[in-house]
Structure 1
Amino acid sequence: MAETVILKVEGMSCQHCKRAVENAVRKIPGILAVEAVPEEKTVKITHDGSSLPAAVKEAITEEGYQVVD
């Protein structure tokens, strides 16, 4: 069953940021959809339930952005 989460992400400010975050998260197995919205500082992720939140946060952090809890 698909699950959707919305993460608050600091540091995104443009379309380059949007693409960088989306591409990084899409590489994680189990990700069904991802939509970053720099203006709202959010990333909406739909996954199959097998994706670990830690893997998603790590992928975003590696791109230079900060996931806010």
Structure 2
Amino acid sequence: MSTTSPTTTRVSVSGMTCGHCVSAVSEELEALAGVEEVTVELNAGGISTVTITSSSELAPSEIGEAVAEAGYLVVANEA
């Protein structure tokens, strides 16, 4: 069994305003393969920071599609 250290990806998401928004985005991201944890620093009405911990690197397009599925927009991707 190989041990890989988790990968952390941070994205900035616009349009989130409340706990329900956080839940919606978290659920979509947690559904992606390899995602272990999602934490959101909510900035209501502004740009929120979403931190995704996963067992392997996620494609920015995968993250963008998951966030869009929840009804929000990724405005910046940071490694």
TM beyond 0.5: yes
The equivalent of 1:11 in structure 2 is: 15
The equivalent of 1:54 in structure 2 is: 61
RMSD over aligned CA atoms reads: 1.3
Identical-residue share of aligned pairs (%): 33
Give the TM-score normalised by the residue count of structure 1.
0.88
1:44 and 2:51 equivalent?
Answer: yes
More helix, by proportion: 1
Q: Which ranges in structure 2 are unaligned for 5 or more consecutive residues?
A: none
Computing the radius of gyration over CA atoms, which structure comes out larger, 1 or 2? 2
Q: Which runs of 4+ in 1 moved over 2 A?
A: 50-53
Give a deviation string over 1:7-60, Cα, whole Å, max 9, x none: 100000100000000001000110011012222611000111143221111000
Give the TM-score normalised by the residue count of structure 2.
0.78
Q: How many residues align?
A: 69
The equivalent of 2:37 in structure 1 is: 33
Q: Look up the equivalent residue of 1:16 and give its one-letter code.
A: H
Cα distance in 1 for residues equivalent to 2:57 and 2:8: 12
